[in-house]
Chain A
Amino acid sequence: MRIMVVDDSEIIRIKIADVLADENFEIVGKANNGVDAVKQFQLLRPEIMTLDITMPLMDGIETIKKIVEIDDKVRILVVSALADKATLLRAMSLGAYGFLCKPFTDNDLAEAIEELIEDLV
């Protein structure tokens, strides 16, 4: 399956891409802010997106709204340090499918993605 990784930290983008490539996912795009994420999404149309919340230019909450307007079937996994319930509920109500709190282990990430797509495979 095709995945896009969105986070303002290059280290996190590399880490997520490495773990998911090892799980045989195809990394089709990476973005470091919401504006670039939306532009790339329109072109690349991945089936899955990992998405940070705190980012420059456009945060993850606004990005979910824009992405879901384009394609409401995309599976978005929010990967964020923001550990409060309100952020989780807001992201999920806007169309995110899952939420993984930073910091995370490789296993945490792989399991979160598996849960995200369990009804698709």
Chain B
Amino acid sequence: MNDDNLKMFVEGTSRYFETVTQKPAIIGAPFLIKDINEYLSDYTGVIGISGDYKGAVFFTAPQRMLRQLLAAIGILESDEDKLMDLVGEVSNTVSGNARRTFGDKFMLSTPIVLKGKSGSVKVSKVEEVYVIPIVWRQHQANLIINLEE
């Protein structure tokens, strides 16, 4: 992943929050990590990537943030199914928007959703894993990028 590709994910995440909630998120600079499990939150949406790139994109967020995000979208019920749906949809939207840069050989799976900090998520060891920190209404979430060309 080069700086331009990471910047594209930063911009995509920023665009999601600004468009959907009209309240911008603060997106931090990407940094490298060793253990993804230290950065997982209450709910995690995972998009598997295949084609020209291989790996996964994760969006992980605390329950309270997701409840507020649902309300900002206009969905007042926030049962567990909707919280899981939401993390999947955010991960799908940010990953799908990346095709603007990567093209249609950047193939996306439908979302897989994890609940809790399982401590057992394993990712490809070939390439680096980057975290892009997101702060929205004082809640901390992360976009985690694990891709190899």
Interface residues of A, Cβ cutoff 8 Å to B: 8-12, 14-15, 18, 54-56, 80-84, 86-87, 101-105
Assess whether B110 is in contact with A12, with CB atoms less than 8 Å apart: no
Q: Count the B residues whose beta carbon is within 8 Å of the partner chain — how many?
A: 30
- Could you list some 27 contacts between A and B, CB below 8 A? A9-B85, A9-B88, A10-B81, A11-B73, A11-B75, A11-B86, A11-B89, A12-B89, A14-B75, A15-B74, A15-B75, A55-B110, A81-B93, A81-B96, A82-B108, A83-B96, A83-B97, A83-B99, A83-B100, A86-B103, A87-B104, A101-B97, A102-B97, A103-B15, A105-B19, A105-B20, A105-B22
B16 within 8 A of A: yes
The A interface, classified by DSSP as helix, strand, loop or mixed, is loop
Assess whether B73 is in contact with A15, with CB atoms less than 8 Å apart: yes
Residues of B within 8 A of A9 (CB): 85, 88-89, 92
